[in-house]
Structure 1
Amino acid sequence: MTTSPSRGVRTQRMPREARRRQLLQAAHQVFVAHGFHGASMDEIAEVAEVSKPVLYQHFPGKRELYIALLDQHMDEFSALLQQALNSTNDNKLRVRATIHAYYEFIARDSQAFRLIFESDLLNDEEIGGRIEAFNAKFAFGIAEVVAEDTNLPPGQALLMGRALAGMAQVSARYWVDLRDEVSMEEASKLVSRLAWRGIGRFPKES
């Protein structure tokens, strides 16, 4: 057992991975409440009910903790999006499933969604680069669907893939405030229809 000097409580020993999950949950609360710049390792340790030395055993600094949390959320979201892209060979249903994944993720945890897409470190080269790589990966996946269904050149298909991903992202963010009026299923289907009808304006050439 160890004692937290800041709270005077006894901290039960945990397996390393369980402790890491606990610390990331505490960090999530603090970063959501205050953003990166307003958060402190002192407060994260206090929320986790551990001493600062325990926190620093797992994460050497606030930046590393923030990156670990961001990576965790992007991994969770990536799994949803990849499952959607792989769920069917029908491109219309694939677009619908992919857009639905954005809504499903924000419905599960709107703050995790905002940490990815509204981070106050988007201008940071490393962190912004991580988020851009994430966005690019799935925009490219959507672009492959667009190219297959329209025969558009790769550059044009990628531009449309970016546009469709952006439409899903932004509409999902605003849907959170309307969820009492519009269900998740209704919202994702509405945006999917809009997206698919847009793709349908570019028929394959024989």
Structure 2
Amino acid sequence: MTTAKRKRVPRAERERQMIEVAERVFTERGYGAASMDEIAELVGVSKPMLYEYFHSKEGLLLACIRQSRAALREVTEQATVGAVSAEDALRRGLLAFFVFIRERREAWSLLRHEMALIGTPAADEIEQTRRQQTDLIVAVMGEYFDDELRAEASAEFVVGACERLAIWCERFPDVTPEIATDYAMDMLWSGLSRRAH
């Protein structure tokens, strides 16, 4: 009877459940200590089914990181739609980022704990997340800058600075996404505004 119920769950939904649980377990235990047995049990599937979907624990981690990256891109991209200026676009994008890390703590944790993953495909996935955000900033802000190379350099700076500020915010729960955005804008926009047209 249990098997019949599992078969009725669409593959995409089952995959989403697996990733959601794995994200939580990886965050709580760390990648090394996380167990595929525990993840399978929490999802309510067999361990072989977990391997059928993701092939390995690393494959499951990569799926978690990719999903987090896609979610981050969607919220930051959508936030900048309708921006009326470079300053407005940057502020909207930063606020979306800080809201994301507040509301999606597990996803953010996976994206930022790359030191233990250096030299692995997961580290490459995390770098792709940074590249994605940099490219998005260039796409949104590029039209306001005459120098494309400077726009790219500025985007790299924004991503790096906001990543560090987000880590700092974890120590201060009273720092809301709005406050973090104000801090970031205070530091970043004064330099960027001199180059924007």
TM-score normalised by the chain length of structure 2: 0.85
Once the 2 structures are TM-superposed, how far is the Cα of residue 113 of structure 1 from its aligned partner?
A: 0.7
Task: Confirm whether residue 187 of structure 1 aligns to residue 187 of structure 2.
Answer: no
Query: Counting helix residues as a fraction of each chain, which structure ranks higher?
Result: 2
Contact 1:96 1:192 survives alignment (8 Å): yes
**3-state DSSP of counterpart to 1:171:** helix
Q: What's the counterpart of residue 121 of structure 1? A: 117
Q: What's the counterpart of residue 6 of structure 1? A: none
Q: Which runs of 5+ in 2 are unaligned?
A: none
How many Å separate the matches in 1 of 2:132 and 2:84? 19
CA RMSD of aligned residues (A): 2.3
Once the 2 structures are TM-superposed, how far is the Cα of residue 34 of structure 1 from its aligned partner?
A: 2.3
Contact 1:84 1:97 survives alignment (8 Å): yes
Q: Which AA in structure 2 matches 1:193?
A: D
Contact 1:27 1:44 survives alignment (8 Å): yes
Runs of 4+ in 1 over 3 A off after TM superposition: 143-150, 201-204
Once the 2 structures are TM-superposed, how far is the Cα of residue 144 of structure 1 from its aligned partner?
A: 4.9
Q: Which AA in structure 1 matches 2:151?
A: A
Q: What's the counterpart of residue 151 of structure 2? A: 157
Distance 1:96 1:203, change over 3 A: closer
How many Å separate the matches in 2 of 1:15 and 1:92? 43
Contact 1:146 1:199 survives alignment (8 Å): no
Contact 1:88 1:94 survives alignment (8 Å): yes
Task: Confirm whether residue 166 of structure 1 aligns to residue 160 of structure 2.
Answer: yes
How many Å separate the matches in 2 of 1:146 and 1:74? 20
Distance 1:58 1:156, change over 3 A: same
How many Å separate the matches in 2 of 1:25 and 1:149? 38
Q: What's the counterpart of residue 169 of structure 2? A: 175
Once the 2 structures are TM-superposed, how far is the Cα of residue 179 of structure 1 from its aligned partner?
A: 2.6
How many Å separate the matches in 2 of 1:173 and 1:179? 11
Give the number of equivalent residue pairs: 194
How many Å separate the matches in 1 of 2:51 and 2:141? 46
How many Å separate the matches in 2 of 1:49 and 1:203? 53
Percent identity, aligned pairs only, is 29
Deviation string for 1:116-171 (max 9, x for gaps)?
A: 122332431x33222222212321332355554453x3333211110111112221
Once the 2 structures are TM-superposed, how far is the Cα of residue 58 of structure 1 from its aligned partner?
A: 2.0
